[in-house]
Amino acid sequence: MPILNRNEIKDKYKWDIERMYPDENKWELDLNKCIELSNDFLKYQGSVGKNPSALLVQLEQSSNISRLFENVIVYARQRRDEDNANPKYIEMMGKAIDAASIISSNTAFFTPELISKDEDEIMSFFKIEPRLKIYEFMLASIFKEKKHILSSKEESLLANLADIRDASSEIFTMLNNVDLDFGIVKDKKGEEFNLTHGNYTKLMESDDRDLREQVYKQMYSKYKSLNNTLSVIYSYNVKNYVTGSKIRNYDDVLSYALDSENISPEIYRNLIDVVHDHLPSMYKYIKIKKRVLGIDDLGMHDIYLPITSLEDKKCSFEEAVNLCSIALSPLGDDYVKRFKKGVLNERWVDIYENKGKTSGAYSFGSYDSYPYILMNYNNEIDDAFTLIHEGGHSMHSIYTREKQPFIYGSHSIFTAETASTVNETLLINYLIDNAKNKKEKIYWVNKYIDAFRATLFRQTMFAEFELLTHTYVEKGGQLTAQWLNKKYDELNKLYYGPNVKEDEFIRYEWSRIPHFYRPFYVYQYATGYSAANAIAKSIVGTSSKFSNDNGNYGVRAKDDYIDFLKSGNSNYPIDLLKIAGVDMNSKNSIERAMEVFDIMVDELDSLI
């Protein structure tokens, strides 16, 4: 079936992004106003924090600039993501990036000048000017970073280089989403499909093994043909980040990545260690899959194939919304009503794939906009998991923005991934508990295991790969295509074990992962998954097999979780998760999630 152009899709299936700027001339005015305000902000240079009232005015103006510019950048990016080949919005995004550089440069003096002051004196301002109290955590966080903040001149220079330093990511995005054409694949019935990022996973779940192998080889052959180019692009992305850690006087690149959120590198390493400890359960699962599917030479192109199928996987978008709403009922009527209203009536979601549209899915918006969701919906029940995941992010934003001021109105990735994965966990447990027969239960137990494989195991493997690449460069190594291919291949063998046959293509998988251009991002999917499983269990139990004795979900746990959703960025992620009853400083949270995986693998073995 051909992929539609953007203008061929009905408006009701597109997000209501026009609501942000019904007149795009206003976007241009806001962009220019942000630049003007940042130019005006320069008048404070040399007088930052000279007294409590002055500091309040400066913080408020800085916040106002950021809040207005957030609307500008969100609108430009969302419009570009609708169709990455549309020159109008490519230009608009370029203007926004240029403006961001100017604004950052104009305001770069503020933090270095502020931290040159005596911290105790600045903190004493709260007693004199009560309206400053709202900024207390923000200011404490800034002073915590004092030794890593440079002079005003140096910070301004770095700000001016921001868009250049992001070049690797921008180049990869255009290459991956616009220029790469994976061609056409044909199934055993002769039906042809345009192979895209959006339908890759769906095609890899086909029971037509020849099609799966064709899709797999055709996709990775394209990346293989660009192996040297992509290795250079990624290498410079890593070098950029390693250089940043040195410029900001960090002991190592991992500390640089985690320090702003006050997360210990030990948490990152604990994740890898605990997952390594439970790799035997992954090997057992792969062995079960190999046995049940009857494939002696099980390859990576077989990994996505479920061990059984549903009678009917079709699921319209409206049906998915209804299913998600039922699964989310333990979170309360308010949560469910807001979710349904947003995705159905307020058009938060850009639902279907079109030519040039950014692949995958995300939730993104400004403090003043809807929490928009980009999807590439394929009308199958598995897409409901994407909807409920991104809906978790969006509902997190809704609750936060109602409770928190703009300065705390966003989320760290660490907490955001918890909010999305709690939703996924509630859905899979609902489907397991309400399976109509043994075959359907096997399907959903397998689905739950595969969610662990894709999120906790695979993202941890990605995290380990990132740590290897950045540490290697940090120690003076040069990333080459051969080195990257070899290390990735070794990790894949370690994580999937001896029951998967070797092939020449999986070693190129690293080169198609967009998240690698946001260094040390992916590990938070795995930590979030661990935290989410603990939270979901406290609310409803992880499935009927593990549910609370009385069969009721925990009202207090639910209330604590909603309080967590309202907390935004008002504290460090580890402290915020404690509101929901999870302590990520301990290995126990990850261990508890991995124990669920071990039990589910044993349950699957028993069921079949």
**Of the residues 109, 132, 165, which one is the last residue of a structural domain?**
165
**Of the residues 165, 190, 208, which one is the last residue of a structural domain?**
165
Cα dihedral across residues 568, 573, 576, 581: positive or negative: positive
User: For 5, phi and psi rounded to 5 degrees?
Assistant: -75, 160
CATH of the domain at 479: 1.10.1370.20
Specify the residue for token string 């990850």.
590
Please check whether residues 160 and 174 belong to one and the same domain.
Answer: no
Please check whether residues 104 and 207 belong to one and the same domain.
Answer: no
Please check whether residues 233 and 304 belong to one and the same domain.
Answer: yes
C-alpha 580/C-alpha 532 separation (Å) is 10
Does residue 412 belong to any structural domain of this protein? no
CATH of the domain at 127: 1.20.140.70
- Cα dihedral angle (222, 224, 225, 228), rounded to 10 degrees? 130
Does residue 442 belong to any structural domain of this protein? no
Please check whether residues 81 and 200 belong to one and the same domain.
Answer: no
Does residue 302 belong to any structural domain of this protein? yes
Please check whether residues 497 and 510 belong to one and the same domain.
Answer: yes
Please check whether residues 155 and 185 belong to one and the same domain.
Answer: no
pTM for the complete prediction?
A: 0.82
16: containing domain: 6-165
Count the neighbouring beta carbons within 10 Å of the beta carbon of residue 169.
17
> Can 390 be counted among the known catalytic residues?
yes
Does residue 486 belong to any structural domain of this protein? yes
Please check whether residues 12 and 158 belong to one and the same domain.
Answer: yes
3-state class of 309 per DSSP?
coil
Does residue 420 belong to any structural domain of this protein? no
C-alpha 442/C-alpha 45 separation (Å) is 65
Task: Please state the domain count of the chain.
Answer: 2
Residue 11 exposed, middle or buried by CB count within 10 Å (0-12, 13-18, 19+)? exposed
Does residue 94 belong to any structural domain of this protein? yes
What b/e sequence results for 223-236 when a residue is b if at least 16 CB atoms lie within 10 Å of its CB, and e otherwise? bbebbeebbebbbe
70, 155, 390, 603: the active-site residue: 390
Tell me what the pLDDT averaged over the chain comes to: 93
Please check whether residues 84 and 188 belong to one and the same domain.
Answer: no
At residue 553, does pLDDT exceed 70? Answer: no
3-state class of 192 per DSSP?
strand
Q: What is the mean pLDDT of residues 571-595?
A: 91
**Of the residues 127, 142, 165, which one is the last residue of a structural domain?**
165
On whether the CB atoms of residues 560 and 581 are closer than 8 A, the answer is yes
C-alpha 551/C-alpha 553 separation (Å) is 7
Q: What is the mean pLDDT of residues 164-189?
A: 90
| pLDDT tens per residue across span 462-494 | 999 999 999 999 999 999 999 999 999 999 999
| pLDDT tens per residue across span 498-545 | 999 999 999 999 999 999 999 998 999 899 899 999 899 889 854 334
Q: How far is CA 595 from the centre of its chain?
A: 24
Does residue 383 belong to any structural domain of this protein? no
Please check whether residues 112 and 225 belong to one and the same domain.
Answer: no
| pLDDT tens per residue across span 114-128 | 999 999 999 999 999
Please check whether residues 161 and 24 belong to one and the same domain.
Answer: yes
Question: So what's the pLDDT on residue 164?
Answer: 84
Does residue 251 belong to any structural domain of this protein? yes
C-alpha 444/C-alpha 440 separation (Å) is 6
Residues with Cβ within 8 Å of 590's Cβ and at least 6 positions away in sequence, in order, are 270, 271, 274, 275, 527, 530
Residues with Cβ within 8 Å of 594's Cβ and at least 6 positions away in sequence, in order, are 274, 275, 277, 278, 281, 456, 530
| pLDDT tens per residue across span 233-282 | 999 999 999 999 999 999 999 999 999 889 999 999 999 999 999 999 99
Question: So what's the pLDDT on residue 245?
Answer: 93
Please check whether residues 141 and 182 belong to one and the same domain.
Answer: no
| pLDDT tens per residue across span 372-391 | 999 999 999 989 999 999 99
Please check whether residues 185 and 126 belong to one and the same domain.
Answer: no
Question: So what's the pLDDT on residue 541?
Answer: 55
C-alpha 351/C-alpha 157 separation (Å) is 41
